[in-house]
Amino acid sequence: MRAKTLVHHEGPLAKSVSELIKNLTPKRQEVIRPVLEHPREYVLLTIRELAAKANSDAATILRIVRNMGFASYREFQRYLHDLSIVLATPLEIMQASLAKPGTTSAQIKGSLACDVKNLKALSNTLDTFRIKGVAEQLYRARQIVLLGGDMAIALVLFLEYKLTILGLPPLIAVTPGRVAHLIRCTNKKDVVIAISFRRGLRQTVEGLTRAKARGAYCIGISDTYISPIARLADVCLLCSIESPSFGGSYVAPMALLNALLVGCANYRRSRTLALLKEAEAEQRSGYRWYLGDASTRKNV
């Protein structure tokens, strides 16, 4: 039997734009659509300021917000904040960082400070019981399919290498064709891990969608609950990639993967120790390692 599904966030904060507005009247959809399409322009506004910019009034905006399922305007602002992150382009991120005064050295220090902030946020929110549940699913799986593309390829390759050391059966899919072929062979005995951030890479989201339809247990790694990865997954692990850099930061995602791997290694500790003991001789003196002066003397 499968472990009980690990429930992720539900409610309006986990819904797509189309889901939020589908029950609004056409007129109210027309009022709120520009706000949802360009959240960065509205996220810091008060309800009266937003109403004025949307050519409406505060009472109407509040009714629209509540009809979409938000308990308050503040909760709606939180959604706009997450949405602005999801929709942000590298150019917008870079322009925002350049708009702040400071030298290049200050920008570099700001980047490190942002990484530390992301790590602290992960440390404060990481659910270790959820990580343990994911580890249990991985050990039960017939195969583990890792989906990712673009910059997330680095994360996929890292995770695949470490899971192999633990004796687990990972397969990687980082191109559309590979995704299509691997997912076609998945079933309820398999686990699929999809890694994608912000709005979600198309091949990864579509691969996860098909895997879920085929009954695979789906795990998502993303940076927000409004990501399509989070909405599709049986369980989603969140970590921020916020950064003043144009490319985002993968410091927190790497820390999350490390935490997951520690969970896997200790879930079946005796098995892990047996595998590492078997590999120890190669680790000490195998052909892959540089032997330094000893190697030089041997060849003289």
Which pLDDT score is estimated for 103? 80
Which pLDDT score is estimated for 296? 53
Q: How many CB atoms lie within 10 A of CB 259?
A: 17
- Which of 160, 166, 163 shows the shortest CA–CA distance to 269? 166
Q: What is the pLDDT of residues 30-69, one digit of tens each?
A: 999 999 989 989 999 999 999 999 999 999 999 999 999 9
* pTM of the entire predicted model: 0.81
Q: CA 146 to CA 194: how far, in whole Å?
A: 6
Using the predicted structure, report yes or no on whether residue 165 has a pLDDT greater than 90: yes
Which pLDDT score is estimated for 300? 44
| % of residues, the chain, pLDDT over 90 | 68
Which residue bears the tokens 């996860």? 208
For the chain, the first-to-last Cα distance in angstroms comes to: 61
Q: What is the mean pLDDT of residues 248-263?
A: 97
pLDDT interval class at 14 (50, 70, 90): low
Q: What is the pLDDT of residues 174-219, one digit of tens each?
A: 999 999 999 999 999 999 999 999 889 999 999 999 999 999 999 9
Please write down the long-range contacts of 36-42, taking CB distance under 8 Å and 24 or more positions apart. 36/80, 36/83, 39/80, 39/81, 39/83, 39/84, 39/87, 40/84, 40/87, 40/88, 40/92, 42/80
Which pLDDT score is estimated for 23? 87
Which pLDDT score is estimated for 7? 41
Q: Residue 99: which residues within 8 A CB-CB, separation 6 or more?
A: none
Which pLDDT score is estimated for 10? 55
Give the mean pLDDT of the chain.
Answer: 89
Q: Residue 235: which residues within 8 A CB-CB, separation 6 or more?
A: 5, 6, 7, 8, 130, 133, 134, 218, 219, 220
Using the predicted structure, report yes or no on whether residue 126 has a pLDDT greater than 70: yes
